[in-house]
Amino acid sequence: MAQDRVVDFDERIVLDERPEVADGTAASRKAAKDPQKPDSGPSANGKRMARAKIIAPIAALLLAAVAAVTYHYYAGWESTDDAQIDGYINPISSRVAGYITNVYVDDNQHVKAGTLLAKIDPKDYEVAVASAQATLANDQATADASQVNVPVISVNTSSQLASAEADVANARAGISAAEQQLAAARAAVLQAEANSTKAQDDVKRYKQLVDKQEISEQVYVQAFQTANGATAAVQAATANVQAAQDAVRQAQSRLAQASASVQSAQTGPQQIRIQRSRAVAASAAAQKSKAALEQAQLNLGYTRIVAPVDGVVAKRSAQPGQYIAPGQQLMAVVPLDDLWVTANFKETQLQNMRPGNLVKIHVDAYGRTYSGHVESIAGGTGAVFSLLPPENATGNYVKVVQRLPVRLRLDKGQDPDRRLRPGMSVVPDVYVKEQSPKAQGAAQ
């Protein structure tokens, strides 16, 4: 139909250019139908063929270009429908036992961090706090009393011990002096004995010379008197030695007496240590009571169960009047500000996938597409971390394409209303043709 209209238009132009034709439209139609004009049919067909030869290659090139661009675009994307939104689920449990008196939230309610969720009857824990306070006051008073006599006993005992030790030092100094005097006396005895021996030898030699009248008798008498003096000096030196020995024994007695005084004074420090030990024990008891009081105060605070993070309450099981044990889960809080997508891609799709690759995430629930990027790739396939991992070394082996969890992080600011929820099905498309600037930065 379009070609017929083109032909008619061309024929009208050609006929309008002929002056001899009065009615162009009627004449052209008559000429086209007149069998006596054989030139008009082949001329139109030739024009159509000429146009077809020009248009066909252009159309083919355009189609090829569109196909190439389309293939190049879609070949750079990897997609999977095995993906869902994930997030942390914070379980809320009690740290103390008791009966629940109030529950202030319900499922699907948004709460802020620190919001009071439930309350346990605090009466038992208030009594425990009061008892701990009384015990602490008693132990603190005992510790203070134990510290009173320690300084006085310490000063008295220290002075007594210092005096006794000074006496010991003086006694030891006296012994040292007496021993030195004794040594000097013994040396004097040796010297006197040596002089006496020499004098006796001189007497014997002079006696022989006197008998031969080779020396005068006066020299002999003088030598004899010198020998008697030397003998007397030996006796005096021996007496000095005896006196020095007696002085040493007296000094040793004084040392023994001073040592006994030291031993007597040393019992004072032992008493001080005993008193100090009692004071330390009393102080330790006070510290223990203080710790018990702090624990009782903590337990009292644990009767107020608050939200640890911002989020939405889920799986509430706590009811007023219910008795709960420590660690029993009461509800959960799901933080909606920290969500990501876990996409299980086939291992054959991960060849060019890197942290930082751009991602388009289509959420089935809302029909909306979010932008994001690849955050990380798991350290193993899902089968490896399953409850019963495969043992490929046993039995017949059938190769199965494995899937690896890939964490995709949504760009910030795309969910101000917090409509996304963990577990929602999504379809992510990861652009893996070339790395984005984020991917290059992450790779570096």
Which range, of 19-33, 133-147, 191-205, 258-272, averages the lowest pLDDT?
Answer: 19-33
- What is the model's pLDDT at position 303? 96
Please state, for a pLDDT cut of 90, what percent of the chain lies above it: 41
Give the mean model confidence (pLDDT) for residues 263-269. Answer: 69
Q: Which of 317, 342, 350 is nearest to 332 (CA)?
A: 317
CA distances from 226 to 192, 208, 218, 379 (A): 12, 17, 12, 115
- On whether the CB atoms of residues 435 and 353 are closer than 8 A, the answer is no
How many residues are present in the chain?
444
**pLDDT band for position 23 (50/70/90)?**
very low
Give the integer Cα–Cα distance in Å for 228 and 203.
10
Which range, of 21-35, 55-69, 141-155, 314-328, averages the lowest pLDDT?
Answer: 21-35
Give the number of other Cβ atoms within 10 Å of residue 163's Cβ.
14
Nearest-5° angle of CA 173, CA 179, CA 182? 145
Read off the pLDDT of residues 287-343 as tens digits, 9 standing for 90 and up.
999 999 999 999 999 999 999 999 999 999 999 999 999 999 999 999 999 999 999
- What is the model's pLDDT at position 104? 96
At 1, which helix (H) or strand (E)?
none
Give the mean model confidence (pLDDT) for residues 191-203. Answer: 68
**pLDDT band for position 232 (50/70/90)?**
confident
Contact partners, residue 393, CB within 8 Å, separation at least 6? none
The one-letter amino acid code at 407 reads: R
204: burial class by Cβ within 10 Å (0-12, 13-18, 19+)?
exposed
Q: Which residues pair with 339 in a beta bridge?
A: 87
- What is the model's pLDDT at position 73? 60
Which domains are assigned to the chain? Answer: 2-75 (no CATH), 80-88+334-443 (2.40.30.170), 143-301 (1.10.287.620)
What's the sign of the alpha-carbon dihedral 265, 270, 274, 280?
A: positive
The model carries a pTM of: 0.58
- pLDDT over threshold 50, residue 18: no
| N- to C-terminal Cα separation, the chain | 63
Task: Choose between 214 and 231: higher pLDDT.
Answer: 231
- What is the model's pLDDT at position 319? 95
Give the integer Cα–Cα distance in Å for 314 and 307.
12
Helical H segments across 94-216, by residue range: 123-146, 149-211
**What are the structure tokens assigned to 106, written together?**
């319900």
Nearest-5° angle of CA 241, CA 246, CA 251? 125
**What are the structure tokens assigned to 402, written together?**
């494995």
What's the sign of the alpha-carbon dihedral 427, 433, 435, 437?
A: negative
The one-letter amino acid code at 432 reads: V
Give the integer Cα–Cα distance in Å for 109 and 117.
11
